[in-house]
Amino acid sequence: MVRVKDSVVATSSRALVLTETGCPPRYYLPSDDVKMDLLRSSTTTSHCPFKGDAVYWSVDTGDGLAEDVVWSYPEPFPQVQQIAGRLAFWAEKPGVTLEVKGQGA
Do residues 96 and 66 touch, judged by C-beta distance below 8 A?
Answer: yes
Give the predicted TM-score (pTM) of the model: 0.90
pLDDT at 85: 92
Report residue 4's pLDDT band, with 50, 70 and 90 as the boundaries.
very high
pLDDT at 22: 84
d(CA 64, CA 56): 17
Cα–Cα distances (Å) from 10 to 22, 51, 68, 78, in that order, read: 25, 23, 16, 26
* Pick from 9-18, 59-68, 92-101: least confident: 92-101
Q: Which helix (H) or strand (E) holds 42?
A: strand 39-48
Report residue 104's pLDDT band, with 50, 70 and 90 as the boundaries.
low
Shortest CA distance to 86 belongs to which of 22, 14, 23? 14
Whether residue 19 has pLDDT greater than 80: yes
